[in-house]
Each structure stands twice: as structure tokens, then as C-alpha cells.
Chains A and B, each alone.
Chain A
Amino acid sequence: MHRHPPGFRGLLLALATLTAAVGLAVVVGVLLFWLVRVWVHDLPNYLLLLTTGLALLPMLVLFRRRFPFLSDWYYLLPATLFLLAFTVYPIVLTMALAFTNFSGKNYGRPDRATETAVTFVAPDTLRFPSDPARALQCGDSCVGAQLEVYRGNDRARQTVTGEGSTTLTLNRAPAFATSTQAGQLYVARISNYHFIGFRNFTFILSNAATSLWPVFRWNVVFAAGSVLLTALMGLILGVVLNDAKLRLRNFYRTALIISWALPNIITIQMWNALLNQQFGAVNRLLGLLGIYSIPWLTQTDWAKLGIILVNLWLGFPFMMTATLGALSTIPNELYESAQIDGASPWQAFRGITLPLVRTAFTPVLLTSFAFNFNNFNLIYLLLPQGGPAIPGGMATANSTDILISWAYKTAFRSEGGSAYGLGSAIALIIFVVTVGISLINFNLTGAFKEEAR
């Protein structure tokens, strides 16, 4: 085997050579793509991936000749590339957007309400029919503003460097300025987004009392409540179903697992209909028992209870299966010897079943908490129009919203008006919170102290 250079320097060297190999492959891939485009026009851009991949193979072989130790690293390369593209890049982008005012309104695209027909005086100078600052709604002066200049399908982005009474000078002439193609020339001001520092965060904190804290509190209560209830129910059912004396227990197992087996996208929306106050099956059944018209989904406390109950229905089969799995690992001899020693079934349960199930159960509970903390499907699909409003709260944060649904509604629903920057800021808060919760969890469970045990 070829020796890998030792220590931190070796790691850096390996990473640098790998980056160089991939970077060179990208350069060759782009060149290859351009070369093919000379013959085949309208080449779809995704073919860049193919040409880069083609260039990467010989590049890796070449680099291995020069740096033989790299072959170990090639095993990690695909996973690393995917991690960079689909995990690191979105996180970095979210962090960057959280400090901008990027939104449907500030979108980095030309505001068509400012579209003005213009003519070229010189290749880099435009003549306006009237005052350019007025036509383009620049405020006092258009200098520094970004413009889109377009004619037919030709477009160019330019910055204004000078201003006359009816003319604007651009930083450089658009590429199509000298072409003789016919058609009217237009210009529109680009509504750019820019860095705004911590403004998104101060906005969220200024609404903390009516939006951030209620949403966060409910988020924790919802996740913890769901985990505890599903675990309790799953445990009880698992222990009952594990009893060999129970007849038809395979039938019960199958029947009880149905709510987990069905796609929750569908079942959650069915629960929305079932819980309708006037016409839902749940209230009709309760009506037969003499309990009238519970405002599931329309009154804050009932809606929260409704969500937790639906989540119990959705979640207990998972816990039940986990319990059955854990129970099957407990050897029967333990129970037999307990019986011989004269232990009651309850003593056997407390002394044998619970402690042995607990070790298998702890990671399941943590996973379940992490899953429910960001359980977007349930919250958003059960109350698609948003739950009951919080008095004085933001329209995107209703009383049943959790952080993730709040971020989604801010960025992608009409209530939020496509406020991507603000939505990213909320997502960043979720990120910080979940990292904090995970650290606490790791500490409590000693997940990182595996070797010390």
C-alpha cells in the first residue's frame, strides 16, 4: 500500500489534490460542453453534468498516478460530492438569504411597471422620451441602479453610470447594441435585493410575544406530547400483543399497523374531513353519545388536542413495532427463572421487561422527537387554511403552527407574500434550536461517549 502523508498536513494535501482534480474536471467538462455546442445548438444545460462526469474519470486516473495515496479517498468522493451539493450548499444559501430582503417584490428581476421604450444615442447611451428617473421610478437619481435592456429575445443587464436630462449612460454597451436587428428597444429597472444585516431577525424578535414564543412553546409541547403518548400506547399494545396466549394476535398486529402503512398525505386530509365540527364523522359519533359539537380544528385548545390525537393515531404503530422488536430480543429463560423464583407477572414486567426494553427504546424516542419537531405534513395538511389565529399575531403564525410550517407559510404562501429572506431567517432559527436540542440529547444519552463505556 502507498503511504498516506501523516497528520493534519496529510489531510489538507489530500483535500487540496482532490479539489484540484474535481476543479480541473469541471473546467474540461465545460470546455467539452462548449465544443459540442458548436455542432449541436440548443443543448440542454444539464448535459454539463455528463461532460463533467466524462472528464472526471480520466482526471482521477491521472491524479492517482501522481498521488498514489489518493485511491483511498476516491471511495469517499461520491458521497462527499452529494453532501456538498444537497446538504452544504442549501444550508449556506439559507444562511446567506436570511440576511437579505430577497422576496417576491425584491426579486432581482426587472420591474415591468417601469418598462420604457428607448433608443440608442450611442451604443452605451439610451435616450428616454422624458425624465429617466421618473420613468424608471429610481427616486432622485438613477446612477448606480441596475437596468435590463432588451429587444426581442436579446437581454442585457447593465449598471447606470451617468445621467442626463433625457439620457442615461451605461457602464458598457449591450452586446446587441450594434446589431441591426429590428424591433423596439425597452429598458426596465431591476428590483434588486440586498444585504440588510439583522433586520429579518429584529423583525421576528419584535413579534416574539405574539408569534415566536407561542409557536416555539407549542412546537415543543407538540413534539414531546406526541412522543410520550405514542410511546405509552405503543408499549402497552406491544406488551399485550407479545403475549403468546393471545388468540388471533397476528390479525391484531396487522390491523393495528394499518394507520402506519397508509400514506399520511392521504390519511391526514381524511382526518381534516372527519374532524369537521358540523359534518365530520367524529362529532356525529360523539353526538350519539350525547356529546355535542366539539370545535375540533376551530378553537385553539381543541385544535391542539385534535392534532396530538391524530398524531397518536399516526404514530403508535411505529412504537408498537419497536416494542415488539425489543421484546423479541429478551430470552424466555429470564421469565422462566423469574417464575421459578416466585415473581409475580407485574414484578417480572418491572424487573425484566422495562429495563431491557428501555435501552432499545431510547434512540427510538429521540428519533421520534426529532421527527415530530419538524412534522410539517401533519400540521400543514390537517389545517391547510391555518389553525385558529393568535390574537395580535402574524398571519403566517397561527396557534397550531410549528416553526417549520411558519417558515413555509412565510416564504411560499400568499399570507407571507413570498418573503424568502424572512423565511430563511426563521429556518435559521429552527436550525439553531434543533442543534441545541440535539446537543442536549447527546449529552443526556452519552451518544458520543461510546468508547468510554
Chain B
Amino acid sequence: MRKVLFTLFFALFGSVFAQGTITVWTHFGGPELQWLQDSAQSFQKATGTTVNIVTVPFGDIKQKFILGAPQGKGPDLVVTLPQDQMGEMAVAGVLEPLDKYVTENYISGLEPVSVDAFTYGGKLFGMPMSAESVALIYNKKLVPQPPKNWDEFLAIAKKYTTGDTFGFLYNETDAYFNYGFYRMEGAYVFGKNADGSANTSDIGMGGAAGAKALDFIKALRYTYGLVPDGVDYGVADGAFKDGALAMILNGPWALGDYKKANLDFGVMPFPTPPGTKQPWGPFVGVQGVVVNAYSKDKVAAVNFAKFLVTPESQVSFNQAGGRIPVSTSALAQLSSDPVVKGFSEAIALGTPMPNVPAMGKVWGPMADALKLAEAKKDSDTTQIANDFVTQIQKGIAGSQ
């Protein structure tokens, strides 16, 4: 009985003393999750607000958030989301516009591309925390001198493609990983309106440029014999971790694991083959913290978001995982880091992923186009590229 009274007493007073609790959804894992938990603890020490961290798979967050938030089942904030999912969530009403909480000073301390990425309909919907893109990551044990050009890249890749080891692998059927090869040939997702917003009726992934991009991706398998059928993200990533792969196209999110595997690796932009329109340039994703418009405690949520995106936090986040900061002062602090430098070069070559909801209608058809092109050596890439554009148009029209 005494024990029960005791517990009751503490339960009652505990609720009086607590400054409230906020819930965070995150897709981080490993060292990055650890970083978030540490940050939550120091935030609790500083402000008294308890932060409850829930891990949600990356692919499920958008759906669960849109369905759950208006019913009071969503988190107070999500750490973090890329900008291509942000547009649809803003239209669905679950994201809080953050302009009223941030200062001019904060905005001017960020890389402009990251602010653009999170601006939709003229409003800021997220606090940018890190940028990312794919780049060529090479194992220094196998590749002591990074390839200076396409020919050197090909020579190294072929040398290590033996059956037991691999020269170059990547997630070849995934849309995000392949955009760089499209850009090389001058293809683009959406054109621009006069005011700088995306023109979703101008789709530049078809025609000769789209077909040539597919031809190049196909050549990686059939002409150069580098990427065999059946290689997905897990296979390529696993081979690199095991030291059986010389070079991989991957992003900063993988670096935590590579460090844990004690790999000595370098990062550089993918070397552009001769005869293309422009240099290889990846999709640039900016990940930011977003706040639930239906949160019961927006002030605490926004404060935690601000706490996570300070330049100091961005530096420690980079050290935990390896993602690239978007704060100019954090970037200056890390300028001597060769990995940050390698990814920064790749990001500088890239284009930001469109953040309009129509982008959701591009990923599926793009993956299908890649699968169809790679399925056969004699696949008709012109036909596939044009079907691809038709599918995007149908998808956008069907969702009106």
C-alpha cells in the first residue's frame, strides 16, 4: 500500500514538474540515431522538455504523417525529411510554415540552395540540416590514386571486376542514383517558369537526351560489363563494406557504416565520360527538420528544431554520420575534411530535387524505365524514354 501511494505521489508531482514532452519521428539509425538521442538529452537538460524519439522507416514517414497528424497521432516534429516529400505534405496540411519562427540572420547563415529546397509556395516549411547527394566513393586500399578521368576510372573498374571482387557497383535500377547520368546528357525533370517555380508540363526526361542516358546506363552492364543484373543497394553496399568492391556510387548516409567497418575511403564526383553535353551532376537532396501543424506544443517543437540545426550541431552530426552541413559556418569549420570536400564538389555539380508534389509521379515511372532499359541488351531506349515521359504526364493528369 505504501509503495502504491509513493508511486502515485511521484506520478502526480512528476507531471507538475515536467515541462511537457514532445515526440520526434526519425529514420536515422546507428551513429546518427545515437547523435539524436544525445542531442535530445542535452536539450532536456537545458530546457526541461522531454524528447521522445521514435524510429520510423524512411519510406513510411510521409504516409503515416499525413494520415496520423490531423488525428493527433503524429509526432511534434520529424528529423529529417528530404525536400521532395515536403511539397505533398505541405499541401496535405500537416506541415507548419516556419517563417514566423526564424530570423533573417538564421536564413542568411545557410547555403542558399538549402533554403530554396525547403521553400514551397513562397513559404519555408523546414529547417535545413544537411545536404546529400551521391558521389563516387573509392576504397583507398584498392584504389590508392583516385581516377583522374573516365578512362582511368574504366581501367580501374575493369581491373577489379574479376568475379570475386568488383570494380564498380551501384543501385542501378533506382531513379535517385541514376539522375546524374541523365543530367550528363542534358536531360532534366521539370523546366522552370518565369518566376523560378517548377513547370510540371515541361518534362525533359524523354527524347534523344533521355534515350542517350539510358544507353549509357545500359552500357555499364552490357558494354563495360561492370554492373551485373540483380545488384541492388544492399548488394553493392555490402560488397563495399566487405572490401570486395573498389568503387561505389553512394551518399553520405552510408559513411557511418563505412567508418565502422574501418575502411579507408575517398570521395569524388563521378568522372564524366567524353562526348557528353555537361558534367555528371547528381540530385541534391536537402534534409530538414519539419514541424507538425497539429502539434500541441509548437513552441517546444520549434525550439528543439532550432537546437538541432545550429552550426555546432551540424558539425557534430557530420562527425557522427558524415552528412554534409548546410550552414556556411559549419562548412567553413569542416573545410579541411577530405570527405566533406568530395561531397561538396559533387553537390556543387548537382541540381536540387524538385519539391513540388508532382515529383511523386516521377520516381515510379523512372525506376520502370531503368528496369526496362537494363533488362535486355537490345532494349529500345528511345521508345522507353518516351513512354517514361507519357507515364509522368498521365500520373500528373490522373491526380488532378
Interface residues of A (CB under 8 A from B): 101, 103-105, 107, 109-115, 117, 137, 148, 153, 184, 188, 190-191, 203, 207, 276-280, 293, 295, 297-300, 385-386, 388-389, 391-396, 398, 412, 414-419, 422
Least CB distance, A300 to chain B, in whole angstroms? 8
**Do B59 and A393 have beta carbons less than 8 Å apart?**
no
Question: Which residues of chain B have C-beta atoms less than 8 A from A422's C-beta?
Answer: 398
> Whole-angstrom distance between the alpha carbons of A393 and B106 in the complex?
46
User: Which residues of chain B come closer than 8 Å to A385, judged between CB atoms?
Assistant: 173, 232, 367
* Residues in chain B near residue A412, CB distance under 8 A: 63
- Residues of chain A within 8 A of B95, CB atoms compared: 112
What are 16 sample pairs from A and B whose C-beta atoms fall under 8 A apart? A101-B400, A112-B95, A112-B293, A113-B122, A153-B296, A188-B93, A278-B230, A278-B231, A279-B230, A279-B235, A295-B230, A297-B230, A300-B375, A393-B391, A417-B361, A417-B399
Question: Could you tell me the distance between the alpha carbons of A278 and B125 in the complex, rounded to whole angstroms?
Answer: 43
Contact B387 A392 (CB under 8 A): yes
Contact between A417 and B88, CB atoms less than 8 A apart: yes
| B371 CB within 8 Å of chain A | yes
Chain A min CB distance to B154 (Å): 21
B229 partner, pick from A114, A278, A300, A386, beta carbons under 8 A: A278
What is the CA–CA distance of A453 and B96 in the complex, to the nearest angstrom? 68
B66/A395 in contact, CB under 8 A:
no
Q: Flag B68-112 by CB within 8 Å of A: 1 or 0 each.
A: 001000000000000000001011111111001000000000000
CA distance A188 to B94 in the complex (A): 12
* Bound: A105/B94 CA distance, A: 11
Determine the chain B residues whose CB is within 8 A of the CB of A148 once the complex forms. Answer: 93
By the criterion of a CB under 8 Å from any partner CB, how many residues of chain B are at the interface? 51
Residue B311 lies at the interface, judged by CB distance under 8 Å to chain A: no
Q: How far is the CA of A389 from the CA of B394 in the complex (A)?
A: 16
Contact A395 B367 (CB under 8 A): yes
> Are B368 and A395 within 8 A (Cβ)?
yes
Type the 1/0 row for B108-120, where 1 means its CB is closer than 8 Å to any CB of A: 0000000000001
Q: Which of B125, B375, B391 contacts A112 (CB 8 A)?
A: B125
| B228 contacts A398, C-beta separation under 8 Å | no
Taking A104-B357, A112-B91, A298-B375 as known contacts, 7 extra A-B pairs with beta carbons closer than 8 A to each other, sorted by chain A number, are A109-B70, A112-B95, A153-B296, A278-B228, A388-B372, A395-B365, A395-B395
Shortest beta-carbon distance, B347 to chain A, in Å? 24
Pairwise interchain contact A112-B230, C-beta atoms closer than 8 A:
no
Point out the residue from A105, A293, A300 that lies within 8 Å of B91, measured CB to CB.
A105
Residue pair A113, B121 in contact (C-beta under 8 Å): yes
**Across the interface, do A419 and B398 meet the contact criterion of CB distance under 8 Å?**
yes
Inter-chain contact B92/A278, CB cutoff 8 Å:
no
Whether B363 lies near A415 (C-beta < 8 A) is yes
Q: Are A414 and B229 in contact (CB under 8 A)?
A: no
Distance to closest chain A CB from B365 (angstroms): 5
What CA separation (Å) do A223 and B296 show in the bound complex? 49
| Contact present for A396 and B229 (CB under 8 Å) | no
Nearest chain B CB to A328's CB is how many angstroms away? Answer: 45
**A204 to chain B: closest residue by CB:** B398
Min C-beta distance of A414 to chain B, whole Å: 6
B235 cross-chain contacts in A, Cβ below 8 A = 276, 278-279
Interface residues of B (CB under 8 A from A): 59, 62-63, 66, 70, 88, 90-97, 100, 120-123, 125, 173, 228-232, 235, 293, 296, 357, 360-361, 363-365, 367-369, 371-372, 375, 383-384, 387, 390-391, 394-395, 398-400
Q: Which of B59, B91, B363, B375 touches A113 (beta carbons < 8 Å)? A: B91
CB pair A111 B387 closer than 8 Å: no
Q: Could you say which of A109, A203, A297, A416 has the most chain B C-beta atoms within 10 Å of its C-beta?
A: A109
CB neighbours (8 Å) of B395 from chain A are 394-395, 417
Chain A neighbourhood of B121, CB < 8 A:
113-114, 137
Given A101-B400, A391-B372, also A414-B92 (CB < 8 A): no
Per the bound structure, the CA–CA distance linking A295 and B96 in Å amounts to 47
Known: A203-B398, A298-B229, A414-B360. A395 touches B93 (CB 8 A): no
Q: Is the CB of B173 within 8 A of A111?
A: no
**B92 A115 Cβ-Cβ under 8 A:** no
The 6 closest A-B pairs by CB, nearest first: A395-B364, A113-B121, A415-B364, A277-B230, A109-B93, A389-B368
Cβ of B93 and Cβ of A414 under 8 Å apart?
no
**Central interface residue in B364, B367, B394, by most chain A CB within 10 Å:** B364
Q: How far is the CA of A386 from the CA of B173 in the complex (A)?
A: 11
Do the beta carbons of B383 and A391 come within 8 Å of each other?
yes
Looking at the assembled complex, report how far the CB atom of A93 sits from the nearest CB atom of chain B, in whole angstroms. 15
Shortest distance from the beta carbon of B300 to any chain A beta carbon, whole Å: 14
Q: How near does chain B come to A51, taking the closest CB pair, in angstroms? A: 21
B368 & A115 in contact (Cβ 8 Å cutoff) = no
Contact indicator B367/A386 (Cβ below 8 Å): yes
Instruction: Say whether, besides A107-B66, A112-B123, A203-B398, A184 and B100 are in contact (CB < 8 Å).
Output: yes
Known: A203-B398, A279-B230, A418-B63. A394 touches B361 (CB 8 A): no
Shortest C-beta distance, B180 to chain A (Å), equals 20
Which residue in B90, B93, B391 is a CB contact (below 8 Å) of A394?
B391
Task: Name, among A105, A207, A386, A419, the residue most crowded by chain B CB atoms within 10 Å (CB to CB).
Answer: A105
Complex CA–CA separation, A278 to B375 (angstroms) = 15
A190 to B125 alpha-carbon distance, docked (Å): 18
Select from chain B the residue with minimum beta-carbon distance to A275. B230
Contact residues in B for A153 (Cβ distance below 8 Å): 296
